[in-house]
Amino acid sequence: MPSKPQKNGHTKDAARPARLAVRRSIVDVIREHTDVAEPRFFNRDLSWLEFNRRVLAQAEDTSLPLLDRVRFLVIFTGNLDEFFMKRVAMLRRLVNTNDQRTGPDGLKPRDHLAAVRASVLELQEHQANIYEKQLLPALLAANIAPVEYTTLNEREQRWIDEWYRVNVFPALTPLAVDPSHRFPFISNLSDNIAIMGLLEGQSRELHLARVKVPANIKRYVELPGASGQPRRFVALADIISNNLDQIFPGVTIKEHLHFRVTRSSGLQYDDKSPREQDVLESIENELKQRRFAKAIRLECHPDPSAQLLRQLVDKLNLDPADVYERQGPIDYMGLADIADLDIAALKTPRYKPAIPARLTADKGREIFGCIRKQDILVHHPYESFEHSVERFIAEAAADPDVLTIKQTLYRTSPDSPFIASLVRAAESGKQVACLVEVRARFDEQRNVKFVRQLQRAGVHVAYGVLGLKTHSKISLVVRKEKQGLRCYAHIGTGNYHPKTAQLYTDLGLLTCDPILTGDLVNLFNYLTGLGVAQKYDSLLIAPFNMRSRFNEFIDQEIEFAKAKAAAVAANAPGAADMPGGRIIAKINSMEDQKIAARLYEASQAGVRITLIVRGFCCIRPGVPGLSENINVRSVVGRFLEHSRIFHFGAGQTDPIEGEWFIGSADWMYRNLNDRVECITPVRDPVARGRLQHVVDVMLADRRTAWDLTSDGSYVRSMPPPDADPNSPAALGTFETLMRHAQGKA
């Protein structure tokens, strides 16, 4: 860690907001800032911060390997960075324009932003405590020691200084701030050191300068040491801070400050242009401007001088409330160097996905024959993405009987096998169409590159529908067979991204069902052509029929619940055994007010509603008279829960006989109104049984599950003392499903 900057003897300053680090429930925050006594909805951003709290809790879970816990500190930080770039930037814009509109929770933007700040400060303090009081001692006990430069002996400092002189010093660029030097541009999420110094032989006026910590050099430098001794690491910023005299010769440095700046990620591209090239050019131009977007956060160590802090705040055009002073490392992302250490005993063993049984039963059989035999549900990363979804597109590209391949790409890897397969298919004479969503946030530049690569190969590339993002995860293959043309499809919940398929849990359906594939033909025609949206017989497609179909299913469950209640009230024979109404949704986020209102209505009618929501959830469960029949839980752990599953009881006692769906949409306004999303029914009984098993495991989990309370906080589930050690309650969701996929359950 860098040494603490010198204090400059101040108490309060306009550029120094009071620190607040008290945890409060979402309901208490809403009650404080509004006249709403019983909120119907939780605040989206405060709920998201509660999700990140659950991520942070993994870092203090002593049942996890040590370097995994360090990794969760890094993940927590990356999540928070993105939250500031997207959500806090939006809130800051609303406050700066004096927007007085209230959200569904009743909070105005200024109160909303203040509540977010208070929560972030409390989380930052908790993160620092975990690092300093739990992880640092544990690392030392494991012979891994992040140390400060000033604790090294003279010989060790000489070694570090020489390493710095050779490997770092030539790459540094000190930038002064004075009448002849403008304040330097501070890039997003960069690591920086500011100094206040006196020039030799000049007046007592302090001068400001800044040096950027190089981004392409490891954040932690390992000291040489004898075998068996602790491995010691010094932070790069700490090394630079203790060699500032070499960077600023002839300057008496009075103070230095390690700081980090976050900028908005918003793009204002023109997606209404009738020319495709204009859309690409607009996005590329805006990407160039993104790096110069407004600063929205300054992170620094506590207690910089009033003069230095005021200069940074003024030069960056920040509000005092945008300053976040924090203990511990300023750049927790740098701890990835520690988490990446190759020490197998301190990490969870790498999981090797199983090859789906239905794709191995007929060895040597091409994948289309397997799909013709029966629909295939694949569950990643438990089952191999490479040997199912990648194989599907690769075989289609190589198969001489395949005439056409169509696919949507929202995010994919830099070396994407899907891009390679589509290129090969086009070059072999197949008709290939690919919808690349060039507006996928943070992937815009990569996707523009893919567009040009695909176009050079002769692929027909579309950017989707003007005004809508295409978030669907769909592929369609048209194959010539003896009986005529047959369509095969993959409909998934996650991106066609081999890297994230190893880290995110997602589901996909491989099918040749003519009704489903017929709907996909119509959907692709809509996405790439000029026609209006068609009627869809089975698929739920946003923004067309998805919301109305969900409403129909909810209405259906309300009627079943009312029928049971009436039968029970009349003491009808068998009334107690009637299934009533049942809704289960496993999603990433729950925010749509209209869906929430319908679920409240269903709860009041007696429908049993279970929501498994990984991230933020705006619905308030367990409120008498409103939502006492709604239960919400979240599962956080080894993999990122990303799959979406929807179940409606449909009057059936056996859940497998009810309605089951998977797809790309969450219950959010943007998914239902502003994106092209695709959700498919799952009709195969075996596939339905697998979905039921996934849900059952997550509901039985007492290891990695958290339950949402009516005040907006989450309570961690704990396995009972007498739990079977091989049960989902004891193992948790991820270990149970890994064992099941490997045939060990």
The pLDDT value recorded for residue 8 is 38
- Longest distance between any two alpha carbons in the chain, whole Å: 100
The CATH number assigned to the domain with range 357-533 reads 3.30.870.10
In the numeric block, the tokens 């794709």 are attached to: 359
SS3 152: coil
- Model confidence at 4: pLDDT above 50: no
463-494 pLDDT tens trace: 878 889 999 999 999 999 999 999 999 999 99
407, pLDDT greater than 60: yes
Tokens of 108: 């105005």
For residue 744, what pLDDT band results from cuts at 50, 70 and 90?
A: low
Is 471 catalytic? The answer is yes
Cα–Cα distance for residue pair 71/347, rounded to 1 Å: 10
Q: State mean pLDDT over 279-288.
A: 76
Phi, psi angle pair for 392, to nearest 5°: -55, -50
Helix/strand/coil for 462: strand
CATH class of 26-346: alpha beta
Average pLDDT over residues 64-88: 98
Interacting residues of 534 by C-beta distance below 8 A, sequence separation 6+: 522, 523, 525, 526
Q: What pLDDT score was predicted for residue 275?
A: 54
Per-residue buried b or exposed e for 8-38, using 16+ beta carbons within 10 Å of the residue's own CB: beeeebebbbebeeeebbbbebbbebbeeee
Render pLDDT for 442-455 as a digit per residue (tens, 0 to 9): 778 888 899 999 99
Number of other residues whose CB lies within 10 A of the CB of residue 381: 24
Sign of CA dihedral 314, 320, 324, 327: positive
Q: Comparing 321-325, 507-511, 576-580, which segment has the lowest mean pLDDT?
A: 576-580
Going by C-alpha positions, the residue among 447, 737, 615, 704 that lies closest to residue 83 is 615
Q: Coil, strand or helix: which one is 170?
A: helix
Q: What is the pLDDT of residues 493-548, one digit of tens each?
A: 999 999 999 999 999 999 999 999 999 999 999 999 877 777 899 999 999 999 99
CA distance 572 to 584: 27
What are the tens digits of pLDDT across the range 93-151? 999 999 999 999 999 999 999 999 999 999 999 999 999 999 999 999 999 999 999 99
Instruction: Judge contact between 203 and 132, C-beta under 8 A.
Output: no
Q: Name the one residue in this structure whose structure tokens are 């300093």.
A: 132
Q: Is the model's pLDDT at 238 over the cut of 70?
A: yes
By the 10 Å C-beta count (0-12 exposed, 13-18 middle, 19+ buried), 722 is classed as: exposed
| Predicted confidence (pLDDT) at residue 270 exceeds the cutoff of 60 | no
CB within 8 A of 346, min separation 6: which ones? 65, 66, 67, 68, 142
Over the stretch 334-348, which tens digit does the pLDDT of each residue have? 999 999 999 999 999
* One fold for 26-346 and 357-533: no
- What confidence tier does 13 reach under pLDDT thresholds 50, 70, 90? very low
3-state per-residue secondary structure call for 178-211 = ECCECCCCCCCCCEEEEEEEEECCCCCCCEEEEE
* Mean pLDDT within 172-180: 89
CA distance 104 to 42: 8
Among candidate residues 2, 6, 1, the one with its CA nearest the CA of residue 197 = 6
Q: Where are the domains of the chain?
A: 26-346, 357-533, 546-741
Which superfamily does CATH assign the domain made up of 546-741 to? Endonuclease Chain A (3.30.870.10)
| Annotated active-site residue in 380, 471, 490, 647 | 471
The terminus-to-terminus CA distance of the chain in angstroms comes to: 45
The 10 Å Cβ neighbour count of residue 90 is 17
Q: Which residue's entry shows tokens 């019983």? A: 38
Q: Which two tokens stand for residue 700?
A: 């039985």
713-741: pLDDT as tens digits: 999 999 999 999 999 999 999 999 999 99
* Local confidence band at 2 (pLDDT 50, 70, 90 cut-offs): very low
